[in-house]
Amino acid sequence: EVQLEESGGGLVQPGGSLRLSCAASGFTFSSYWMSWVRQAPGKGLEWVANIKQDGSEKFYVDSVKGRFTISRDNAKTSLYLEMNSLRAEDTAVYYCARESSLLYRSGWYFWFDPWGQGTLVTVSS
């Protein structure tokens, strides 16, 4: 069974740091792009960052650039999100998601499936 399980969330003060982890199982982790997606309380979904299979390419939403770092350890089949200089607006449930893909008519189609159950990060004093 394909599974993703996040951990590392919690309460942190503004300006603090936190490291999220996502343990993957049931699929060849090293063959997939992986992403972090967050959801603030009562709000919609926001993509945060993604990372290529070998870690050579990483992309971020503008609001976290320079503060968050995505990484992966293919030997441990794990994805990470290092979050620094946290702000109140970073409060959210953070999901890790596999980016499944399909090559069709010379274009790569990507989608998020599956998702983990999420871990809550609360930034508050």
Partner 1 sequence: DIQMTQSPSSLSASVGDRVTITCRASQSISSYLNWYQQKPGKAPKLLIYAASSLQGGVPSRFSGSGSGTDFTLTISSLQPEDFAIYYCQQSYDTPRTFGQGTKLEIK
Give me the residues that bind partner 1 (CB under 8 A), please: 35, 44-47, 50, 59-62, 95, 100, 102, 104, 107, 109-118
Residue keyed to tokens 């995505």 = 70
Q: Cβ closer to partner 1: 56 or 125?
A: 56
CA pair distance 38, 22, nearest whole angstrom: 14
CB of 19 to partner 1, least distance (A): 21
Residues in a beta bridge with 5: 23
CA pair distance 125, 122, nearest whole angstrom: 10
Q: Cβ closer to partner 1: 7 or 13?
A: 7
CB of 109 to partner 1, least distance (A): 5
Nearest CA among 120, 123, 117, 125 for reference residue 23 = 117
**Bridge-based pairing state of the strands 107-115 and 92-104:** antiparallel
CA pair distance 69, 19, nearest whole angstrom: 9
Q: Cβ closer to partner 1: 48 or 83?
A: 48
Q: Cβ closer to partner 1: 80 or 95?
A: 95
CB of 13 to partner 1, least distance (A): 26
CA pair distance 29, 109, nearest whole angstrom: 18
CB of 82 to partner 1, least distance (A): 19
